[in-house]
Structure 1
C-alpha cells in the first residue's frame, strides 16, 4: 500500500455510456468518497476521443468535407463526458481527480496511459455484450484485461431482477 505522499494511481476509463458512468460512480463510492482525502489512490479519469477519420470509417468522395463536422461533434461529446465526470466527482466531494482526453481507440489509449503513468489499477465499465457482439464490436474491457500492464477492474452494473 502507498506510504507518505506517494499514492498509487487508479485510472478510470469513461465515455458517454451508462456502464462507463456507473463504473466511475462505483469507483468513487468504494475508493474515494468515503476516504477522501485519505484514499490510497490518486485518480486519473481518461476519455478516449475517436479520431474523425476512424469514426467515419470509410474514406471516399466527400470525406474531406465531412471530417470537420464529425470532429466538431466528437469534441462536443468529449466535453460533455469530461463535464459529467467532473460533476460526479464534485457530487461526491472528490476534488483532486485529473481528467484527460486523448485521441485514439479506447483500447490502445487506456493501455498506453497505464504504461505512461505506471498505474496500479485500471477501472472500466462493462456493456455486458454476449460473445458474438463482443467478437464483432470488440470489447474494451476484454482487451484491457489482457493487455494492460496493471490490475484491471471491470465494473458491471447489477441486473435488476423483477
Structure 2
C-alpha cells in the first residue's frame, strides 16, 4: 500500500526457478529504492487430484507445503535487513493470480522473470510473463534470461 512518504509497492513474481531469482536479484541490484515495499507473489503448481487416493493427495500436499516453505525461506533470507517485504500466495493460473494480487496490493510495478521460450512453445503453452504484460494495469518489468541459464 503506497503511502505519501515516497513508498512504492513492487510486486515480484517468485517461484523455484533461476529465472525468478534472476529477476529478483536484478530488481535489488538496479532499481530498488530504500522505501520500497515488496510483495513477493508465489503461485504453487496446481494438480488435478479428483481421481487420486487420499494417501496420494496427502503426500502431494505435504510436498507442496515443503516446496512453498523452501521458496519463502530463500526469499526471506534475501530481503532480511535490506527491504520490507511480505509473501502472498494464490491458486489458479499464475498470470491471473499475479495480476490480481498486484492490484489488491496497489502495486505500482510488477517484476517477473521469463524462461525465454520460443514463439511456438509460448503460443501452445502460454506465457505467464506475456499474460502479465497484457493484463496488468501498471508497468511490468520482464527480466530475460541470461545466456548461461539453461532451460
Q: What is the TM-score with the length of structure 2 in the denominator?
A: 0.85
Equivalent position SS for 2:43: strand
Would you identify which runs of 4 or more consecutive aligned residues in structure 1 move more than 3 Å? Answer: 62-65
- For the pair 1:83 / 2:73, whether they are aligned, the reply is yes
Give the CA deviation at 1:58.
6.7
Separation in 2, partners of 1:149, 1:157: 24
Report the equivalent of 1:18: 18
Q: What is the TM-score with the length of structure 1 in the denominator?
A: 0.80
Deviations 1:103-137 (A, max 9, x none): 33311210111221221100100101111221233
Separation in 2, partners of 1:124, 1:141: 7
Separation in 1, partners of 2:90, 2:126: 19
- Tell me the C-alpha RMSD between the 2 structures: 2.1
Separation in 2, partners of 1:102, 1:26: 24
Separation in 1, partners of 2:132, 2:113: 11
Asked whether the equivalents of residues 38 and 83 of structure 2 are also in contact (C-alpha less than 8 Å), the reply is no
Structure 1: gaps (5+ residues): none
Which is greater in Rg? 1
